[in-house]
Amino acid sequence: MAFDLNKNDGFQRESSKFDLSKGEVEKPAGRSSGWLIGLLGILVVAGGFWYYASGKTDPAAKIPAPNVSSDPASVVVPATPAKEKVSGMDTTAVAKVKSTEIQEDSISKTSVDAAPAKSPDEALKALNHSVPVTFVQGSSSFASSNKTLIKYIVAYLIKNPTASVHIDGYASSDGPIALNQQISQARADAFKNHLTVLNIEANRISTAGKGIENPVASNHTVSGRKRNRRVEITFL
């Protein structure tokens, strides 16, 4: 005899609304990783802000240390001169220019002071063998004269009564040697007479004719021969 234990009284039972299986509840993906990324971003932004703020608020960190020489004599201008504002003008550049001018001025003064002055004897020796007069060809007439040198010669002889001067006369290679010897002597005597006219005693002036000796220029050119027709002076 079979029994139907299902008490089915004609009504269909509703399926249970509860799932008693031990399956895990699915969690939405990506929520935890997004939270970590956001936290890291906040930390980075905060760190950057702190670094920027600390750098701005510490002016000593951005000012380089001045180079100070161990030799106090070598320090002329401070490495970081303070800026002063006078009527809106920056005086730092002005201070640097003045410092440079002072240094250059001191150097020039030192150079002038250090240069030894020539003694009167040295200055006088420098004038020896100078040419006060040149002459016309074949003549003892002046062709040109150095008036400044002549004035100095006269002034020196007047100021120094015991001093004397020697005059050497010269000729170019034009003409016979004997004639040039005579002309050179005549030229020396002509300049002696010129000095006596300027109140220099004749006994303080000696002369000599040197002919064509010691040319100062080439006798092969016209300009050279003009320069060789001359007299030279030597103080004694």
More confident residue, 209 or 84: 209
Give 232: exposed, middle or buried? Use CB within 10 Å, 0-12, 13-18, 19+.
buried
Answer yes or no: are the C-beta atoms of 229 and 137 closer than 8 Å. yes
Give the mean model confidence (pLDDT) for residues 106-122: 50
Tens digit of pLDDT for each residue in 158-176? 999 999 999 999 999 999 9
> How far apart are the C-alpha atoms of 213 and 228, rounded to whole Å?
9
Cut 0.85: pTM above it: no
> How far apart are the C-alpha atoms of 34 and 144, rounded to whole Å?
110
Q: What is the pLDDT of residue 38?
A: 76
More confident residue, 49 or 20: 49
* Domains annotated on the chain, with CATH: 120-235 (3.30.1330.60)
Q: What is the pLDDT of residue 196?
A: 97
- Residue 210: both structure tokens together: 């040197």
> How far apart are the C-alpha atoms of 134 and 141, rounded to whole Å?
9
Highest mean pLDDT among 68-77, 103-112, 123-132, 227-236: 227-236
Alpha helices in the chain (DSSP H): 31-57, 92-114, 120-126, 147-159, 177-197, 222-228
Confidence of residue 105 (pLDDT cuts 50, 70, 90): very low
pLDDT of residue 192 exceeding 80: yes
